[in-house]
Amino acid sequence: MGSTGSIGTQTLDIIAEYPDRFHAFLLTANRNVTLLTEQALRFEPEYVIIADESKYAELSANLKGSNTKVLGGAKAIADAMSIADIDMVVTAMVGYSGLEPTIEAIKHGKDIALSNKETLVVAGALITSLQRKSATKIYPVDSEHSAIFQCLAGETHESIRKLILTASGGPFRTFTKSQIEKVSVADALNHPNWKMGAKVTIDSASMMNKGFEIMEAKWLFDVDASDIEVVVHPQSIIHSMVEFVDGSVKAQLGLPDMHLPIRYALGCRERLATDSRKLTVDDYMNLTFERPDLDRFPMLAMAYEAINRGGNIPCALNAANEIAVAALLGEKIRFVDIPKYVRKAIDSAHFIENPTYDDLIATNSEIRAYTSTIIK
Ligand code: MN
C-alpha cells in the first residue's frame, strides 16, 4: 500500500532484488497514475488500486490489454485485504489513510510490514488488541523500530530495562530558537541523512517524528513510554538500542538506507544476502550523542504530553499535525507556526479516555476541520 511513495518504491527494489522469493500481488497508490502504470507494467501484479477515483479512468486506459485488474477508491483498498493470496501487506501510505486498510489486513490475519507509524499513533490500543486476536505478525519497517526488533532477537520481554531511540536531530539540530523562526519549507525538506517522503521529512525537522516513534515503540514492544529514551545521534549510523536488566546495551548499526529495514521486514527476520554498499570504519569512526532539547523542539514536548494524557489525544495531535504540515508544504504557514496551530487544536479536543474506532474517526475529522479553520 503506497507503492509510488518513498518506502513503496524501495520495497519494489527489494522485490526486484529477490524475484524468486517475492511477488507484488497488489499495488496501491493515492494519485500518481504515471508511476503506478510503470510499476504495473514492470511487476505485473494481479491488481492495482488508485485511491483517488478521479484517476481511475486514466489508469484503466493505461493498463488496457495487460493482465492486471484495475480498481479505484479507498474502500477497494480496504476490501482487497481479504484476498487469500496476499501473505504480507506493506503499509507505506501517508498518515491517517493507513488506518482502515491496516485494520482490515489484521482482521484477515495478514502479516504486516509496518511503515505507516501514524496507524499506531492514532489507534495503538485498538490495533494491538486486534492483533492479539489474529494470526498477524507485525514487522517494523521504521529504521529505529527495526533496530530494536533486531536487538530483541533471542531476548525475553522481562529482560528489557529500556529502549533508546536515536534521532538524527534533523536539519535544525544546531539552530537557535531565533534561527528556527526564519527557516523556509525548503530548509525543512533538506534532511541531512535520510531521503524520505515530504511528510516524514517535515516531521523529522520538527522532531514530531521522534514523538510519534516513541508511541510506535510503546505499542510495538509493549514498553511504557517512561522506559523509552530519545538520544540525538546526528550521524544516523546507530539506528536504536536496547538496555537490558543486567546493564548490557545492544545497538544495531547500518548505513542510513531504508532498503536495510525493508529487507529485514520482508524476510520476516531472515537475513537476506545483498551486494549493496557495506558499512566501513569511515562511516562510524566519529559517532556522537546529545540530549534532545524540548524547548527548541516543542512538537516533541507535545508528543510527551499526548502520551501522558493518552486516550484520543495522540489521534488529535496526529490530525492537527497532518493539516499543519500540509499547510506548510502548500506555503500557507511557516515552519515555526506548526506548533502554534497544533497547540490550539489539541486544546480544542474533548478528551475521551477509552476511544472506540468510531470515536477516533470523529476526533480525526473534528480536529482536521478545526485546524483547517484556524489556519485560514
Ligand atoms: Mn524512523
Concatenating the DSSP letter of every residue in 27-45 gives: EEESS-HHHHHHHHHHH--
pTM of the model: 0.95
Residue with cell 527548541: 296
Furthest CA-CA distance within the chain: 62
| Distance between Cα 320 and ligand 1 center (Å) | 20
Rounded to 10 degrees, what is the CA torsion of 310, 311, 316, 321? Answer: 30
∠ CA 347-345-205, nearest 5°, is: 115
| Distance between Cα 144 and ligand 1 center (Å) | 5
CB 144 within 8 A of CB 200: no
| Distance between Cα 110 and ligand 1 center (Å) | 23
| Distance between Cα 286 and ligand 1 center (Å) | 21
| Distance between Cα 196 and ligand 1 center (Å) | 10
| Distance between Cα 68 and ligand 1 center (Å) | 33
| Distance between Cα 258 and ligand 1 center (Å) | 9
| Distance between Cα 37 and ligand 1 center (Å) | 29
Host H or E run for residue 148: helix 143-151
Grid coordinates representing 137?
A: 505478525
- Helix, coil or strand: residue 81: coil
Positions in the chain short of pLDDT 50: none
| Distance between Cα 143 and ligand 1 center (Å) | 5
| Distance between Cα 250 and ligand 1 center (Å) | 18
- Helix, coil or strand: residue 47: strand
CB 45 within 8 A of CB 27: yes
Q: How many helices (H) and strands (E) does the chain have?
A: 17, 10
pLDDT of residue 194: 85
CA distance 118 to 123: 8
CA distance 209 to 201: 8
CB 53 within 8 A of CB 31: no
| Distance between Cα 116 and ligand 1 center (Å) | 10
CA 251, 254, 257, 259 dihedral sign is negative
CB 59 within 8 A of CB 68: no
Residue with cell 527495526: 146
| Distance between Cα 100 and ligand 1 center (Å) | 22
Read off the DSSP letter of residue 290: B
Amino acid symbol at 52: D
Grid coordinates representing 103?
A: 485494520
pLDDT of residue 97: 87
